[in-house]
Structure 1
Amino acid sequence: MPGATWGLTASTFTASFVEFVEALTIVLAMGVTRGWRSALAGTAAALVALAAFTAAAGYALSTWLPPAVLQLVVGTLLLIFGLQWLRKAVLRSSGLKARHDEAEEFAAQTAAARRAAADSRFGVDAFAFVVSFKGVFLEGVEVVFIVITFGTGAANMGAAVGGAAVAGVLVLIAGAVLHRPLAMIPENTLKYGVGLLLAGFGTFWAVEGLGVFTEGESLAWPGGEWAIPVLVACWLLVSRALVLALPRLKLEAAQ
């Protein structure tokens, strides 16, 4: 298996794993406090909506855009998405933003569920259904986005889907066995790594796609796919420099 395929699979696995962990926390909170029937009903409805969204988005990207334009669009989207993840990771690593904690998130969700008034419709608790649906759908959209963009950009949808599927199965098994949020997962570190991977792959494909404005075909990187780990390393250096610089800049601005 080529190195790029391993990187593709690892990227979709890690990103999907993080999103699935966050969705699991929401569903667990609703199931424990408001009832599993309602929480699982909301989850099932979200999965149906995600399936329709995936089919529509995947078909549109794969059939409407020429290869070079597709690389430019996919690369730009991944780069923007990756930089958002990196921005949060840099702020957390520099101490300027609180680190995400699944245990705290679970406590907040359960507290909100206990405060909400009872509203049952057709034997399903409306609050638990809506919150579970919203949580799973929103986190799932990010997974779909990552899988589709990686899969179409690398012309290897199987590896992208496989990485996400394995992540989903592992999170489901862990949640079923532990019956509590996966707070022991180093989620902040994983998000940092995902941001680097998204930014690296996004830069690679976006620059390749710029060829549409010159020769009408994709540009080629020196070294081909070996440029990807170099780009990831460059983004790592930039992010670490920001982690060191931002606290000083904030201190100087306060003075």
Structure 2
Amino acid sequence: MSPLALVVTVFLACAVEAVEAVTIVLAAGTGRHWPSALKGAGAALIGLVVVVGALGPAVAQIPLGALRSVVGSLLLVFGLQWLRKAVLRASGWKAQRDETTAFAAGVAAAREAPQARRGAVRDWYAFTVAFKGVALEGLEVAFIVVTFGGSQHDVPLAAAAAAAAVAVVAGVGLAVRAPLARVPENTLKFAVGTLLTSFGLFWAAEGARVSWPGSDAALLVLVPAVALLALAYTRILRLAAVRAADPPPATAPKEVHR
């Protein structure tokens, strides 16, 4: 994988997770107390930096063949989960995620929760909600950074791409103080799921000592093939959803003449 491909893949994947995390922080800050929410988000980010700093060098020490087998398998599972959700949402079998609705629900829940102060944190509820949201979504970011960066022996570059994605999404979110409802999240998930699945297949096969025709150039065929297969499933499921929503009219029983 070229450095540019590594940066683009990690940036897109982390941007998807950042949208959901920023929505949670915005809800906690808007509905409760901004300084406490930002402290919670900052504490979670510090913890994630420690996780990446600890796991990155350790992953880089694993032999390349074994590393690609493990990373490829994990990326394949992870990517297929994203791709499955994107296909189901695009075909109508699963509701689209609405960041505006999620934001409104988060604000309503925050306003109803009781006030509580702990130490230097004025609003413990806002702190914990922001911390949990950033930590949970951030763990997936850390996974992407460690797996992609470790497999390419360039964790710093992957971490820089992830940091750029988080900074861009967080900057936009804080600037407008509103959910990022216009971000085509399902389209991003479809694209990222396709990339993760393709790289997972590629590295898992390489770890099993399969030689791809053209080496890395095989990805130029593998990625479009996975995307076309996912689009075909989307089309099939969309047609099935239409048929399920609009069943054929029942035919009247034939009159029996005697």
> TM-score normalised to the size of structure 2?
0.88
Whether 2:46 is the aligned partner of 1:48: answer yes
Matches within 5 A, 1:35-184: 35-63=33-61, 65-122=62-119, 123-184=121-182
CA distance in 1, matches of 2:196, 2:145: 11
CA distance in 1, matches of 2:239, 2:22: 37
Higher mean Cα deviation, 156-165 or 197-206?
A: 156-165
Aligned 8 A contact 2:13 2:192 in 1: yes
The one-character-per-residue Cα deviations of 1:64-114 (angstroms, maximum 9, x if unpaired) are: x21100000011111110000000000001000111121111011111111
Structure of greater Rg: 2
Whether 2:206 is the aligned partner of 1:220: answer no
Question: How well do the aligned residues superpose, as a CA RMSD in angstroms?
Answer: 1.9
CA distance in 2, matches of 1:237, 1:47: 36
Aligned to 2:221: 230
The one-character-per-residue Cα deviations of 1:166-224 (angstroms, maximum 9, x if unpaired) are: 2122123212321212211111111110100111111111110012xxxxxxx431111
The unaligned stretches of length 5 or more in structure 2 are 248-258
| One-letter amino acid of the counterpart of residue 215, structure 2 | G
| Identical-residue share of aligned pairs (%) | 49
Structure with the bigger percentage of helix: 1
Q: Which ranges of 4 or more aligned residues in structure 1 deviate by more than 4 Å?
A: 247-255
CA distance in 2, matches of 1:162, 1:50: 14
Aligned length: 245
Report the secondary structure of 1:124's partner residue: coil
Aligned to 1:17: 15
Aligned to 1:185: 183
CA distance in 1, matches of 2:149, 2:50: 18
| One-letter amino acid of the counterpart of residue 226, structure 2 | W
Aligned to 1:246: 237
Q: 1:124 Cα shift?
A: 2.5
Report the secondary structure of 1:98's partner residue: coil
Aligned 8 A contact 1:150 1:160 in 2: yes
| One-letter amino acid of the counterpart of residue 106, structure 2 | Q
| One-letter amino acid of the counterpart of residue 196, structure 2 | L
> TM-score normalised to the size of structure 1?
0.89
CA distance in 1, matches of 2:217, 2:160: 23
Report the secondary structure of 1:120's partner residue: coil
Aligned to 1:32: 30
CA distance in 1, matches of 2:211, 2:80: 23
CA distance in 1, matches of 2:45, 2:244: 47
The unaligned stretches of length 5 or more in structure 1 are 212-218
Aligned 8 A contact 1:14 1:194 in 2: yes
CA distance in 2, matches of 1:157, 1:229: 24
Q: 1:233 Cα shift?
A: 1.0
Aligned 8 A contact 2:60 2:153 in 1: no
Q: 1:133 Cα shift?
A: 0.5
| One-letter amino acid of the counterpart of residue 18, structure 2 | F
Report the secondary structure of 2:208's partner residue: helix
